[in-house]
């Protein structure tokens, strides 16, 4: 019997144990952050098990995460991407709908000290065809819970404390960074626990894959068009990159994070400000990429240095392997000097 292998198999690092270990690195911690993350994890487990529910999964996921965050007692606000047919479920968290310009803040006696921005079900249009979908989230500390303003939501990505996503597909995988590296956990249905399966994820410096919706190519700007052309027809003797595009950001970014390469959702003539939402798509994924050794760029600046002016601001995004993002940055820099 291989006792060493058996010991490793039974010494399971669950996500709860991992987060508690991270908490131990901060002696001043009271456990609020750990409790908040545990409720997000609970929401992910619930959505992962709800595939057979008759209720629309995108509506259900909104309900699950709102209630999970409310019950944590640690949030002061939440920014959600809500569909127009999704009802507001509680006034205890800030719920921000695409149909509403203003945020609703938690009553003072119930306030925690964190703001959570998340998309409960990214890629929900792909539910019926079995494509991987997921939840994306980012967590901020609020400045003063006794004097909360919209500025507590409209923070740059550099102020983010933690970010992650949970991908629901052939397996249920939760990728998380609390600022100290990036780790991936896979849900073991027999245990009902997320188990560490991808420790200390590091994205390769350069990858062999590019991921973009080429159906929009006719509307791209020159740097994006040149970059994709170089991916397909490199002039330096290297092999062409392979195109892989699922159309679900969580799935495309997950593959990019593990295998390397670049994910692009550029601005174009139809969407001059980009398509993806800054607070709950661009920022969390950019945070994860940087913590894994990659980069995230908007076409003008480091993505995490954006300061959103509105809750549902959009931005172009190029994220992935460090050297691949350097290539697109160089093309934009060259364009600006010749303009």
| pLDDT value for 339 | 61
- Which residue, 262, 261, 264, is CA-closest to 208? 261
Q: Which residues pair with 325 in a beta bridge?
A: none
Q: Which residues pair with 198 in a beta bridge?
A: 184
Cβ–Cβ contacts within 10 Å for residue 331, how many? 18
- DSSP symbols for 305-330: G---SSTT-EE-EEEE-HHHHHHHHH
In which region does residue 270 sit, left (phi positive, over 0), alpha (psi from -120 to 50) or beta (all else)? Answer: alpha
Asked whether 117 and 283 are in contact (CB, 8 A), the reply is yes
Cβ–Cβ contacts within 10 Å for residue 146, how many? 7
Label each residue of 275-296 as H, E or C: CEEHHHHHHHHHHHHHHCCCEE
| pLDDT value for 276 | 96
Beta pairing class for 193-198 and 183-188: antiparallel
Dihedral pair phi/psi, residue 131, rounded to 5°: -75, 145
Distance of CA 63 to the CA centre of its chain: 19
Give dist(CA 228, CA 223) in Å, integer: 9
How buried is 98 (Cβ within 10 angstroms: 0-12 exposed, 13-18 middle, 19+ buried)? Answer: middle
| pLDDT value for 82 | 45
Which domains are assigned to the chain?
Answer: 15-198 (3.30.540.10), 209-338 (3.40.190.80)
- Which residue, 160, 164, 165, is CA-closest to 248? 165
Give dist(CA 324, CA 331) in Å, integer: 11
| pLDDT value for 57 | 66
**What size, in residues, is the chain?**
339
Give dist(CA 128, CA 196) in Å, integer: 29
Residues near 224 by Cβ (< 8 Å), separated by ≥ 6?
Answer: 264, 266, 268, 299, 328
Residuewise pLDDT in 10s, the chain (339 residues): 454 444 445 578 999 899 888 877 766 667 788 888 888 898 888 888 875 443 466 656 656 655 555 444 544 445 555 443 333 222 223 444 333 445 656 666 666 778 888 888 888 777 778 889 999 999 888 877 677 777 878 899 999 999 999 999 889 999 999 999 999 999 999 999 999 999 999 999 999 999 999 999 999 999 999 999 999 999 988 999 999 999 999 999 999 999 999 999 999 989 999 999 999 999 999 999 999 999 999 999 999 999 999 888 999 999 999 999 999 999 999 987 776
- DSSP symbols for 8-27: HHHS--BHHHHHHHHHTT-T
Distance of CA 159 to the CA centre of its chain: 15
| pLDDT value for 106 | 62
Report in angstroms the alpha-carbon separations of 10 from 61, 81, 187, 287: 32, 39, 16, 32
> Which two structure tokens, joined as six digits, stand for 240?
């062409």
Give dist(CA 136, CA 257) in Å, integer: 15
| Model confidence, pTM | 0.87
């Amino acid at each position: 019997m291989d006792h060493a292998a058996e010991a490793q198999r039974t010494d399971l690092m669950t996500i709860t144990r991992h987060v508690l270990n991270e908490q131990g690195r901060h002696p001043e911690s009271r456990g609020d952050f750990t409790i908040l993350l545990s409720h997000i994890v609970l929401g992910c487990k619930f959505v992962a098990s709800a595939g057979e529910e008759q209720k629309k999964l995108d509506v259900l996921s909104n309900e699950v995460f709102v209630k999970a965050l409310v019950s944590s007692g640690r949030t002061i606000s939440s920014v959600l991407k809500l569909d127009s047919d999704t009802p507001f479920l509680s006034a205890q968290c800030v719920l921000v709908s695409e149909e509403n310009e203003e945020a609703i803040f938690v009553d003072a006696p119930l306030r925690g000290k964190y703001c959570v921005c998340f998309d409960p079900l990214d890629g929900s249009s792909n539910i019926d065809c079995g494509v991987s979908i997921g939840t994306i989230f980012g967590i901020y500390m609020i400045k003063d819970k006794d004097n909360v303003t919209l500025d507590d939501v409209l923070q740059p990505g550099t102020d983010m404390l933690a970010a992650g996503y949970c991908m629901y597909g052939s397996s249920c995988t939760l990728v998380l960074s609390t600022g100290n590296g990036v780790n991936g956990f896979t849900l073991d249905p027999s245990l009902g626990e997320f188990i560490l399966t991808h420790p200390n994820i590091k994205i390769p410096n350069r990858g062999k894959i590019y991921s973009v919706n080429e159906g929009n190519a006719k509307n791209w700007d020159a740097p994006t068009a040149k970059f994709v052309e170089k991916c397909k027809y490199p002039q330096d003797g290297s092999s062409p990159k392979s195109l892989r595009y699922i159309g679900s950001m969580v799935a495309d970014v997950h593959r990019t994070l593990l295998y390397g390469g670049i994910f692009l959702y550029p601005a174009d003539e139809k969407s001059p400000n980009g398509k993806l939402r800054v607070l709950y798509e661009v920022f969390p994924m950019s945070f994860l990429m940087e913590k894994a050794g990659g980069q995230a760029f908007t076409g003008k600046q480091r993505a995490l240095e954006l300061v959103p002016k509105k809750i549902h601001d959009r931005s172009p995004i190029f994220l992935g392997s460090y050297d691949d993002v350097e290539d697109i940055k160089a093309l934009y820099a060259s364009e600006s000097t010749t303009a």
